[in-house]
């Protein structure tokens, strides 16, 4: 979509409250005795809702965000951290330099569902998978029939102030989401009805030795989500 009036405002209107996942990530990224990592790569930083947390934890951050207007909003919001060298904002995983040791790769808040399919998401994680960097991502199980996607052709809408969200079920089982700000389309993306196990299968297809664990669960309104950890298996112990 070329004309994007104010995606940052639109995403803020539907943002997940930080209390849902902030404490989970804080716990995963720190040890009781201090820091566990020195750097974070965040795939899909959005408005910087969680980027603020990584900075607060004194981590060096590379925020990947492919939406131009959201990148501009991130650059404005975190100008001081960029100036001090703590944060870099980049468009794409292709722009990443080799990952430093003690980096953690994060793809929070359903970022996996923004990719055309689970294999494409796994491919975006490749810089971390290929170096054995720990990855955390979280997804809502939208395959749950109780809170699943609209059936093909069905439109559901909700409005918050000047923002409207339209979710349109598609024939291929996906749903297109369009956010409007003052009646103008502000952001559009596709949600996939993949259960986490499809994502996990794709991850292990890209790197067969990866081990995927569910490490935390939370709730966003009434919808449960799970945080997964992908790690290189520990070296097998000799008998
Ligand atoms: C649900 S938002 C998550 C935002 C943020 N991590 C949070 O927790 O609030 C997903 C973001 O991922 C971005 N995104 C999707 N695919 C991407 C890709 N291939 N590379 C970089 N960013 C991507 C979208 O533009 C969107 O801003």
- Chain CA centroid to CA 154, Å: 26
44 Cα to the center of ligand 1, angstroms: 3
Q: What angle do CA 18, 25, 186 make, to 5 degrees?
A: 45
Q: Is 69 in the pocket of ligand 1 (CB under 6 A)?
A: no
Nearest to 67 by CA among 118, 140, 2, 113: 2
* Per-residue buried b or exposed e for 208-227, using 16+ beta carbons within 10 Å of the residue's own CB: eebebeeebebeeeeeebbb
Which ligand 1 atom is nearest residue 109's CA?
Answer: 8
pLDDT (0 to 100) of residue 3:
47
Q: What is the pLDDT of residues 153-192, one digit of tens each?
A: 888 888 877 778 888 888 877 778 787 878 887 777 777 6
Q: Is 134 in the pocket of ligand 1 (CB under 6 A)?
A: no
Which ligand 1 atom is nearest residue 115's CA?
Answer: 16
Rounded CA separation 183/15 (Å): 19
Element (H, E) at 80: helix 79-84
pLDDT (0 to 100) of residue 231:
80
50 Cα to the center of ligand 1, angstroms: 11
Which ligand 1 atom is nearest residue 67's CA?
Answer: 25
pLDDT (0 to 100) of residue 37:
95
Q: Is 114 in the pocket of ligand 1 (CB under 6 A)?
A: yes
pLDDT (0 to 100) of residue 145:
42
Distances, alpha carbon 233 to alpha carbons 36, 66, 102, 104, in Å: 18, 31, 16, 16
232 Cα to the center of ligand 1, angstroms: 24
Is the Cβ–Cβ distance between 95 and 123 less than 8 Å?
A: no
Q: Is 21 in the pocket of ligand 1 (CB under 6 A)?
A: no
pLDDT (0 to 100) of residue 193:
61
| Distant-in-sequence, close-in-space partners of 110: CB < 8 Å, separation ≥ 6 | 138, 139, 140, 191, 225
pLDDT (0 to 100) of residue 12:
62
Write down the pTM of the prediction.
Answer: 0.83
Share the mean pLDDT of the chain: 82
Distances, alpha carbon 160 to alpha carbons 4, 7, 94, 104, 143, in Å: 19, 15, 35, 34, 25
DSSP state of 38: S
Query: Ligand 1: which of 10, 44, 225 to mutate, most ligand atoms within 8 Å of CB?
Result: 44
pLDDT (0 to 100) of residue 13:
57
238 Cα to the center of ligand 1, angstroms: 42
pLDDT (0 to 100) of residue 165:
82
Helix/strand/coil (H, E, C) string of 179-219?
EEECCEEEEEEEECCCCHHHHHHHHHHHCCCCEEEEEEEEE
Q: Which regions in the chain score pLDDT beneath 70? A: 1-14, 141-149, 192-197, 233-239
114 Cα to the center of ligand 1, angstroms: 7
Closest Cα to atom 13 of ligand 1: 44
Residues shown for the chain: 239
Q: Is 225 in the pocket of ligand 1 (CB under 6 A)?
A: no
pLDDT (0 to 100) of residue 199:
76
């Amino acid at each position: 979509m070329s004309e994007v009036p104010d995606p940052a405002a639109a995403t803020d209107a539907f943002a997940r409250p930080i209390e849902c996942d902030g404490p989970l990530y804080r716990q995963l990224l720190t040890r009781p005795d201090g820091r566990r990592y020195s750097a974070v790569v965040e795939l899909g930083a959005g408005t910087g809702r969680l980027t603020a947390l990584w900075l607060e934890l004194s981590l060096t951050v590379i925020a990947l965000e492919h939406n131009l207007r959201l990148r501009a909003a991130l650059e404005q919001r975190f100008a001081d951290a960029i100036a001090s060298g703590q944060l870099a904002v980049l468009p794409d995983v292709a722009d990443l330099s080799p990952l430093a040791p003690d980096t953690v790769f994060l793809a929070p808040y359903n970022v996996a569902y923004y990719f055309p399919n689970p294999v494409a998401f796994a491919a975006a994680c490749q810089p971390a998978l290929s170096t054995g960097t720990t990855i955390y991502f979280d997804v809502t199980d939208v395959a749950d029939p109780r809170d699943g996607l609209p059936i093909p052709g069905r439109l559901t809408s909700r409005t918050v102030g000047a923002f409207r969200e339209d979710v349109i079920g598609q024939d291929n089982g996906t749903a297109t989401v369009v956010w409007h700000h003052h009646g103008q389309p502000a952001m559009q993306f596709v949600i996939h009805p993949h259960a986490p196990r499809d994502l996990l299968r794709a991850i292990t297809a890209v790197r067969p030795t990866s081990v995927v664990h569910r490490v935390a669960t939370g709730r966003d309104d009434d919808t449960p989500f799970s945080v997964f950890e992908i790690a290189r298996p520990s070296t097998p112990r000799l008998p």
